[in-house]
Structure 1
Amino acid sequence: MFNFEIVAGGTVRTVLQNRRREVLDLVSRTYRIHEAGQTVNPDSYFLRFPEKPDSRIIALPAFLGPESGVAGIKWIASFPKNTESGAPRASAVLVLNDYATGYPIACLEAAAISSARTAASAAVAATALRPEGHQGKTIAVIGAGVIARNICDYLSAADCLPEAYLVHDLHEPSGQALAEHLRGTQDAPVSFTTDLAEALAADTVVFATTALKPYVTTPFKPGQLVLHISLRDLVPEVVLGAQNILDDIDHCLKADTSPHLAEQATGSRDFVTGTLAGVLNGDVTLDADRPVIFSPFGLGVLDLAVGAFVLEEARRDGTAIEIPDFFGETRRW
């Protein structure tokens, strides 16, 4: 009852690198469990700073349900200016709690968990929303940070294998770094482009930027699949011109995401086609004559599911670090 463990970032990365297919299955199952109403996923809570409007720290509490016995919270900071010194934009921890007692049982380095669950959700969507596969297609990646790298790795693990990759980033060294990573890990040709319009014309377009406001005004064409992972790239008119798949409708339509702005512009949610779990369950049918946009806000239940998986694997590998006497009092009297 009073055991407490730490799982360090190196261990988290090793577990996730070696078990991407298992994480894909886990994320897919968790979406379905959430859709069935078996989880609790409250709103995310944003800590903002008046003198740093681009920075924030976000709390994502969640509960995976009585069967799992796991509750917890991710505390993740996003400070984009970190990249100017070569440091990652995001840092995070995940605390897991025991449902029976409420006691914390573990703390895990969670930037890797967060990027893995985000990337896995993109790959699950890429598979479900383009069931015929990506052969003969071009995948463009707009934004070339850690999330983009992980998305590409998970697309490969999910057998989303395109004919070619195209990379675009305003910071060319980052874009070239992602292109080089893809050349070393993928069989498809890879090109870097400074032309946003060229990237937007690809068969599958992945957004993984740090954009705070929409800048994409070009409508997408029938047959295009858009994985809008960074959530604030598209103006409302672009959203309204497509079929829109979200991870959780109430969760996504807030915080001035592009879908939220579309709701504000129309006063309606009629533009929402359904959820990814609805697609996975066969409850949502898509129209081949219209483009499809997947916009996930990011669910804390995914962090919990992946974090609990990492903890069990670390215990099995003997790499979880137990902290003796972490709790100062273990008896009421």
Structure 2
Amino acid sequence: MADFTVGPGATVSQVLADSQKQILRIVRDTYLAHEQGQSVNPDSYFLRFPDKPNARVIALPAYLGGEVDTIGIKWIASFPDNVKQGLPRASATLLLNDYATGYPLACPEAAGISAARTAASAAIAAGELLASQEAVRVSFVGAGVIARTILDYLRANGITVADILVHDLDDTSAGHLMTYATEQHGVPAASGTLDDALTRDLVIFATTSAEPYVPTSTPLQPQQVLLNVSLRDLPPELLLRSNNFVDDIDHCLKAQTSPHLAEQLTGNRGFIPGTLGGILQGTAAPDPGKPTVFSPFGLGILDLAPGHHVLHEARARGAVVEIPDFIGESSRW
């Protein structure tokens, strides 16, 4: 109990690469556990900076019971200007604590865990919400690490992607995602306008936008699915013409997300019929006569559960760094 484990990023990345099916199962089970009240998931805390208005660091504390039975907190930085230097936008750590004593147990690098759980959430939602199981025409609005990882998890979740259209303000980023789709997954890919992207069966928003820019008049089609992963791309008026599902209603309706703006516009939450957990357990379903928007705010338990798996697997491989006697005093007297 006095020891502490560190999971290096390279180890975490390798375990995640080998565990996509398991991560999908873990994230699905975690949504169901949360829906059934087996978690504690308080509000996230946003640390912002006056001289860096587009940067933030977020703390996501959580407890998940069941087989995980662990406390955790993800500390994730989002610095969009990193992209200009060729650096990843996000970096993160995950601190895990023992539920019996509260003692710190481990700290795996967590940017990859965060991307994987976000992608698994998106892929699970797509699998549940897409009306047809035939080949899907997909568009990505935003072509960064999250978009790339979502593509991986769509395929891992058995979704057949017919082709991909990429829209990104940065041509280089768009080119990288198109090349990745073609070379790694054998999927035809092309770049296109935002209007083009909004016509696809499955539209995935993975940007750093701070406010809506998609036109209110966009003519979405029944049974079209929009994964509002970046949360702020869509105007509230568009949401009010759609089915809306979230990961957690209280969490998602804050911080000027698109659903939060819709709540402010209407004065109520009646436009949200349920959560992804409700869909998974069969207590909620979309109206097939409308398009559907899924807005995942991101829950700390979704980092905690995959992080628990990654740590267990990395230990089994002997690929962690053990720090003995990390706790200074092992007894009270």
Q: Tell me the TM-score normalised to structure 2 length.
A: 0.97
- The answer on whether the counterparts of 1:245 and 1:274 sit within 8 Å (CA) in structure 2 is yes
Contact conserved, 1:219 with 1:238, CA < 8 A, in 2?
no
Deviates more, 1:40-49 or 1:283-292: 283-292
The match for 1:79 is 79
Question: Could you give the per-residue CA deviations for residues 38-95 of structure 1, whole angstroms, max 9, x where no partner exists?
Answer: 1000000000101111000000000002653200100000000000000000000000
The aligned residue for residue 56 of structure 1 is 56
How far did 1:283 drift? 0.9
**Change over 3 Å in CA distance of 1:200–1:268 after alignment to 2:** same
1:149 counterpart = 2:148: yes
AA matched with 1:184: E
| Structure 2 partner of 1:102 | 102
> What does residue 206 of structure 1 align with?
204
> Which runs of structure 2 are paired with 1:276-291 in the superposition (5 Å)?
276-291=276-291
Assess if the C-alpha contact under 8 Å between 1:55 and 1:80 holds in 2. yes
The answer to whether the 8 A contact 2:162-2:188 is kept is yes
> Once the 2 structures are TM-superposed, how far is the Cα of residue 116 of structure 1 from its aligned partner?
0.4
Q: Distance in 1 between matches of 2:141 and 2:172?
A: 14
SS of the aligned residue for 2:40 comes to coil
Asked if the contact 1:7/1:109 (under 8 Å) is kept, the reply is yes
| Secondary structure at 1:331 match in 2 | coil
- The correspondence of residues 1-333 of structure 1 with structure 2, limited to 5 A, is 1-65=1-65, 68-130=68-130, 132-133=132-133, 135-193=134-192, 195-217=193-215, 218-333=218-333
Q: Distance in 2 between matches of 1:306 and 1:37?
A: 19
Distance 1:146 1:160 in 2: 19
| 1:289 CA drift (Å) | 1.2
Give structure 1 stretches of 5+ with no counterpart: none
Output the CA distance in 1 between the equivalents of 2:73 and 2:121. Answer: 19
The one-letter code sitting in structure 2 at the alignment partner of 1:16 is L
Q: Report SS of the residue matched to 1:287.
A: coil
Please list every run of at least 4 consecutive aligned residues from structure 1 whose deviation after the TM superposition is greater than 3 angstroms: none
Contact kept, 8 Å, 1:138 with 1:165, in 2: the verdict is yes
Q: Which runs of 5+ in 2 are unaligned?
A: none
For 1:155, the aligned partner's letter is L
Identical positions, percent: 55
Q: Does the residue aligned with 1:23 lie in a helix, a strand or coil?
A: helix
